[in-house]
Every structure is written in structure tokens, then in C-alpha cells.
Chains A and B, each alone.
Chain A
Amino acid sequence: MDALSLGIGHLLTLPVLVSVFAGTVLGVIVGVLPGLGSVVGITMVLPFTFTLGQIPALALMLGIYCGSVYGGSISAIVINTPGTPQAAATALDGYPMARRGEADLAIGWTTAASVIGGLFSVAVLIVAAPQLAAFSLNFTAIEYFALGVFALICIANVSRGAMLKGLLSGVIGLFVATVGVDHVTGDMRFTFDNFEMTAGISLVPAIVGLFALSEVFVRASETHVLKETSMFRVGFRLPPWSEWKPRLGILFKSCAIGSFVGALPGTGAATAAFISYSEAKRSSPRRDRLGTGEPDGLVAAESANNAVTGSAMVPTLALGIPGDPVTAVMLGTFVVHGLAPGPRLFTEHLDLVYAVFFILIAVNLLMFVVGAVGAQAFTRVLRIPEPILMASVVVISLIGAYGVRGNPIDLIIAFVFGVVGFLFRKNGFPLAPMVIGMVLSEMIENSLRQGLLITRGDFLAFFERPIALALFVLTAAILLWPPIRWALDRRGKANTKNMDWTSE
């Protein structure tokens, strides 16, 4: 109880409150701008994190972290370009909604889902951090491989209706991520002796090209009928309770998926959002409408990716294992202040742990305010005349693509992926499977090869591990269920309808 009040005391000081505010606002802004994300946000405030006290520094970084994961959804909705890779799944339903003139409502859905996802994961962090940390240690390379294979189902789930094209898109994504250094042997792959290519194809320029530039190309290629832009509603509209009620199941399932994935270091919010979206696509009563502007998709993607933020603190605080550059910098501030993250943090510096909890709660609540106020401005973007909007998208996206690594080749990569995205869209290939492939490729490949090194080349040993085995069985069951159900239906009803389970 003492630590609890100390923790609240840490939050309720002017420097901390100012840092929470500044961090959240900055986080939402870098999240909204395509290409820029939490890492760029952290870079901008890095000098301050040294001079600020420890708690204000943590507040600043947590604000940027959560704000940027949320902010990415706004550009996904408004300009069909996920502001960060984490928001790629949000574009699938957010943009169709905005095209219908309901950007204000779409932002309402994602803002509420993000805040609920974020708060849910803080609750998980408060209740079960040490237990979750211990559980995450059951996940060795072999379990990561099984999880990666399981997550590949997402490709099939988001490709319904265009299964072959979706699978092809996914395979291209898996392949693209293998360009560059082979992390197990150190050899170079598919670089064609071009030195610049040895850095590989980074996710951000690829996504900026696939979504933003291709959108610009598509619009430029269409015969121009100037649309009545004022049909877009500006502002912020929360969906009514009657709309929420049937979606509570999806909401909490997605929160749980996000919190679980977040607790595994090195997986990340993009993976969580896709697994959750794909689960909604599999199980939602409104699954046929997913991809056409169905709120289920927004709820699933955004509550899951924001649920990652809180639970990513689990391995960071309880084990000292950072999941990404942001949590790594956070750990750095612990060291500077002479604190050791790890199990002892929870016994000896409980007030600090509570301070992190309260900061996270404050950040999530503030995110709601920033979203509601900011939406007034963000939705107005849709009323900007199309030529000006599209030109700005090109400039902003290319800045983002270059900003990640400071490598000029990323501009070429963004352009090439813009052309690929354009050809994909024109020919009905879905883009999301390619992103899923790129996100999962490295995890699947590296964990498979690490696992084989650990078992000294024995793949059958993978099935001796219970969690991995369960994931493999689940994967097989989900993939085999549609044909089995079809066969059962047919036998039951002696129905001679054509089998077309790929497009259901």
C-alpha cells in the first residue's frame, strides 16, 4: 500500500505530468506521419531522457511508445497508409470506411479500441507481470517457430475471395525479407553484389511504397472525376453502445491476444494486430463484411496492437529483456539511475513499478483526448483537394522512408514497392498478405534454424515440446477444418453444391 501511494506520488508531479502530455502528443504525431514511428520519436527526445529525472524520462518514453502505436491508425484510415507497420491491419477496414465518408466514426472506433486495449494490458501487467514473465521463458526458439507458423494462417484468412493471389502475395513477402544478411551464417543473400542491398529491405520503406505511393499511382491512373470532397464528415464520432455490444467478444479476445503476444519479446504489435484481425476474420459473425469497412476489423487490430504496449513492459521490467529499441532505451535509463531490472525490481522498487503502471494508465486516457481533439484536424485532411493531398503524401512518405536508417537506397526501395503495390492493386492482389509475410519471415526462419541448432538437427524433437506441439496441432486444425466441415455438410445434407471453401 505504501508503494502504491508512492507510485501515485511519482505520477502526480508537474514534470511527470508534463512529460506524459508531451510524450503522448509527440507519439501520436510521429505515429500519424507515415514512416516515422516510435524509434524516431525516441531519437528526438533522447537528449532529454538523460537530463530529466528517471520518472519523467520514463513518462516521456511511455507516452511516445503508446501514442505512436495508436497514431499509426489515423493515417491508415485517412490516407490508406499505415503510419507505422503496426497499423497495417487497420487500413484494411479503416480506409473503406473513410471512403464511405465515415472517417470520423472510424477514428472513434480505433481510438476507443486502442484505449481499451492499452488499459487492458496495463491491468494484465499489474495482475500478472511476474507470472507472465516466467511463462514467456517457456517460449524458446522452437516455440517461436511454432507461433510463427501459426501466425502464417493470417495470410489465408485475409486472402479469402482471392486465395491464390493472397498466397502469392504472402510468399513474396516472406521472400523479400530474406534479402540481405543471413543471420545464421553471416552470408549475403539476393543482394546481386550490390553493397547497398546488404542492409536488406527494411519494413518501413516497403510499407510506405506498398500503401502510400501505390495509392498515389492508382489515383493518378484513374480517369479524373473530381469528387465532392465535402461529403467526408470531419471530427470525431464515438459509435453508440448498441454498436459496441455485439463486438465485446471480439474486443476482449483481441485484447487478450495482444497482451499475450506483447509479453513475448521480439514479436511485436504488427504480429499481434494481424493474428487478432485474422481471428476476427475467422470467427466474427460479420466476417463476410471484413475488409469492406467493418468495425470488427478496426476493433480487432487496434485493441490488439495497443494491448502489446502494456504487456511489452513485462519482459522489460521483470526480466530486463527489451522487446524493441524503445524498451531498450527505457532500460538504459534504469541503469543510469543505478537500478537493475529483473525480479528484484518488483520487490525492492515496487513504487517505481507502480509509477510505470500509473503512467501507462494516464497515457492511455490522454490518448483518448488527443485522438478526439486531433481528429478534428486529421479528418479535414480528406477535404484537401486530391492533387495537393497526394503530392503531400509522396513527400511525407519519402521523408519517413529515408528517416528510418538514413540510407538513400530506402528511397529506391519505397519507389519499387510503390510500383509493385500499384500492379498488385490493379490486378486484384491483396497487399496485406505481403506485409504479414515480411513481418513473420525473419522470426520463422531464424527460430527454425536456431531450433535445429539446439536440437542438433533433429526436427522431430520440435514435437516433443508441449507448447510447440499444441500450436502445430492448432494450426493444422484451423487449416483442415473448412474442408472437413464441407465434407461433413455434404454427407449430412447430400448437398451437391460446388466446393468453394477458399472463397467463403
Chain B
Amino acid sequence: MVRTSVQHAVLAGAVALGLGAALSVDAQAFPEKPVTIIVPFGAGGGTDITTRTLAGPMAEALGTEIVVKNTAGAGGTIGAAETARARPDGYTVGMMPVGPMTTQPHLRRLPYGPDSFDYICLAYSAPSSLVVRKDSPFNSLKDMIDYAKANPGKLNYGIQAVGSIPHVAGLGVKEASGADFQFIPFKGSAPTFKAMLDGTVDMFVAHISFLTKNADQVKSIAMLMDERVATAEDLPTAKDQGFDLNFPIWGGIVAPKGIPAEAKEKLEAACEAGMKSDAFGERMSQLRMPVTYMSGSDFEAFVRSEFARNEGLLAKAGLKKN
């Protein structure tokens, strides 16, 4: 999708200079055709937009076109399964978010798991925040917990989907604080947000870009991060308030298990170059997202630790079915 005319010109020039023979040997190597990135959610959503933003500079670094394909459905698991099942040649990879990678596999039997993939890179990791209405009396986790303890069963906690990271984060808050609240599942962020504005739910967990976008109507009572966020220095973290709650909303590129080492190296290098490009950095700062890169091996270790942590929380809540 993103082969530039400059590259065409360079290629043509190289051939004209008599390097054709050398190039044709090189052309056997990866990549010799476009690479497809499967996005397991619909076009226009957060994962999709981040992927399309990265695809441009990453394609330039890779020297081939990148096609973004949206395979939506069943909480992202359809697209994740399609990625896991793809031919392991490096030409099909997936941008897999935290949900289908680390929470969905515990909720039901899926045709993939953490072992089904080779890990290329972490592409984004946005802080999440426990938000309440701007006019809410709660200004800190402690306010909320004190109220919940004095009025058991009164508070409603909205979740965007059962087993999603905001839900798991809520389970984490519940476990760490001993506060009691009722989870009310909605379908996606927009109805959850509406339910908070109409007074049905008292709080929910949102992505940092949601917080900046709706600063007039909501406030954060805790960033669910260990460290303060550069783009939101003034907002206290859960850790500042004495709770160990770290629930970033992340996603990264994975390939079906067993891709050639050369393809893996090149994809990893292209991902890193793409993420460090100005174009990507600029777009992310417009979305108030930090640029957070991890190499393939770091990403794999991170996924496995998140997988185990979320398994524990879901099991304690009685939601683990697999």
C-alpha cells in the first residue's frame, strides 16, 4: 500500500546502473511480495488507526508494501486465529491487542494461545485510567473505596466487554481494595460512557486518549500505571495511592509460529524503524499516546506475564472457563 515513488526511482536507477544481477539475487530474500497485517477489529477503531499509522513508515523500512486487513469478530479472536493459522512465511502477521492475546484465551477454548505465535514487537501501550464523572464526589481511589465499604452493593462499574482489560482491571481494583461493586457489561466504550453520563454507572476504566478527549465531562481518580505518564504528569497513579494496579492497553505484532529467522529479523527491524520514525511519533503525540517499543523477545516475555496475571484475576472472579 505504501511503496513510494522514490523507492521505484531508486530501484529503476539501480537496475540501470547494471546492478540488476546483484539485485535479482537479493530479490529472492524476504520480502519479495507485500506483507499483510491482520487487525482483529473493525476499521476506524483504536487498534486499526495505530496499525495504519505504523504501516506507512514500517513499509518504507521493510521495502515492500503493507496491506492492512480487518478481520473483526468475537472480541478479536477470529482475527487472532486467522493470524495463528496463516502460513508461517512472514508475509502474514497480526496486530494483536491485549484482549485476544491475554484475556480471551481464558474465557473459552480457542484455537490458539501464546505458543501459537512468534513475537515481532510491541507497537503501542497506552495507560488506562479509572474514570468517574467530573461532578462525582470521588477524587481518589480512597474516596471510592470508603464509599463502597460504607454502602456495600451500591456502586456500579461499567465494562466495555466481559473479560476485556477494563473488566480485568476492575477485578484487580476489587481484589486490591476489598471494595464491593456491581459490574455492568455494555458493548464497547461509547455505550459505557453514555451509561456513566446518564448516571447508570459510577466509574469505568478507559484509555488515556478517552480521558483527554472528554476532559470536560470526566476525571481520572487513578492512572492504572506504576509510573506517572509523560503526557499526563499531574494525574496520580494507583501506585501513588498505595495500590499495585498496572493495566496498560497494549498491542503488538505477532507472526504465526515458525517463520524464517530472516523474516523475523527484518520485520522486527522494520517495526522498530517505523516506530522511531517522525511520522509515527507525530501521530501518536496527536492521539496523546506514548511511543512504547519492545523487541520481539521482550514482548514475548511481557505477553506471557500478562497472560498469567490475567488468568489469576479471571480465575478468582470465576470467569475462567478454559
Hey, which bits of chain A sit against chain B, CB under 8 A?
A: 39, 42-43, 46-47, 50, 137-141, 180-181, 183-188, 195-196, 198-200, 202, 265-266, 315, 319-323, 325-326, 328-329, 331-332, 334-338, 340-344, 405-407, 442, 446, 450, 453-454, 456
Contacts and interface: CB of A to CB of B under 8 A. Distances in A.
A331 to B, nearest CB: 7
Given A39-B42, A196-B78, A332-B44, A453 B184 contact: yes
A331 B74 CA distance: 24
5 contacts: A46-B52, A186-B162, A342-B217, A407-B78, A446-B187
B43 A407 contact: no
Contacts of A315: 194
A475 B60 CA distance: 60
Given A39-B42, A188-B108, A344-B216, A336 B287 contact: yes
8 closest pairs, A vs B, by CB?
A: A199-B73, A186-B162, A43-B43, A329-B44, A198-B74, A406-B71, A137-B198, A342-B216
Contacts of A202: 73
Interface string B176-202: 000000111111001101110111100
A96 to B, nearest CB: 35
Contact of A331 (B71, B77, B213): B213
B1 to A, nearest CB: 9
A200 B185 CA distance: 18
Contact of A319 (B48, B153, B197, B288): B197
B286 interface: yes
Contacts of B33: none
B213 A199 contact: no
Contact of A406 (B44, B70, B321): B70
Given A315-B194, A328-B45, A453-B182, A200 B216 contact: no
Given A46-B43, A323-B190, A340-B215, A454 B74 contact: no
A456 B183 CA distance: 11
B194 A265 contact: yes
A410 to B, nearest CB: 9
A406 B69 contact: yes
Contact of B44 (A39, A199, A340): A39
B43 A265 contact: no
Contacts of B11: none
Contacts of A341: 213-214
Contact of B185 (A319, A338, A450): A450
Interface size class of B (residues with CB under 8 A): 35 or more
Contacts of B43: 39, 42-43, 46, 325
A454 B196 CA distance: 12
Given A325-B44, A342-B216, A407 B71 contact: yes
A47 B194 CA distance: 29
B216 A185 contact: no
Nearest to A337: B286
Nearest to A137: B198
Contacts of A265: 190-191, 194
B71 to A, nearest CB: 4
B107 interface: yes
Given A43-B43, A185-B162, A335-B213, A321 B75 contact: no
Contacts of B185: 183-184, 186, 450
Contacts, number: 153
A142 to B, nearest CB: 9
B61 interface: no
A322 B78 CA distance: 25
B44 A181 contact: no
A335 to B, nearest CB: 5
A406 to B, nearest CB: 4
B198 A321 contact: no
A404 to B, nearest CB: 8
B214 A199 contact: no
A249 B110 CA distance: 54
B15 interface: no
A183 B216 contact: no
A266 B192 CA distance: 11
B108 A321 contact: no
Contacts of A140: 195, 198-200
Contacts of B182: 453, 456
B315 interface: no
B191 A340 contact: no
B72 A406 contact: yes
Contacts of A326: 44
Given A183-B161, A183-B162, A265-B194, A46 B199 contact: no
A141 B199 CA distance: 11
Contact of A321 (B74, B153, B194, B283): B194
Contact of B216 (A43, A338, A340, A406): A340
Contacts of A180: 74
Contacts of B249: none
B216 A319 contact: no
A58 B256 CA distance: 38
A332 B207 CA distance: 13
B81 interface: yes
B14 interface: no
B184 A321 contact: no
A458 to B, nearest CB: 13
Nearest to B214: A320
A325 B74 contact: no
A367 B187 CA distance: 33
Given A325-B43, A450-B184, A137 B197 contact: yes
B20 interface: no
Contact of A335 (B73, B111, B183, B287): B287
B295 interface: no
Contacts of B116: none
Contact of A407 (B73, B161, B187, B283): B73
Given A39-B44, A407-B78, A450-B184, A320 B319 contact: no
B163 interface: yes
Contact of A43 (B44, B162, B319): B44
A336 B216 contact: no
Contacts of B187: 183, 442, 446
Interface string B82-98: 00000000000000000
B140 interface: no
Given A186-B108, A442-B187, 5 more contacts: A42-B43, A50-B283, A183-B162, A319-B197, A332-B49
A334 B163 CA distance: 30
Query: Most B CB atoms within 10 A — which of A195, A315, A326?
Result: A195
Contact of B52 (A47, A184, A335): A47
B52 A321 contact: no
A87 B104 CA distance: 35
B217 A320 contact: yes
Nearest to B112: A195
Nearest to A450: B184
Interface string B56-70: 000000000000011
B231 interface: no
A456 B153 contact: yes
Interface string B229-259: 0000000000000000000000000000000
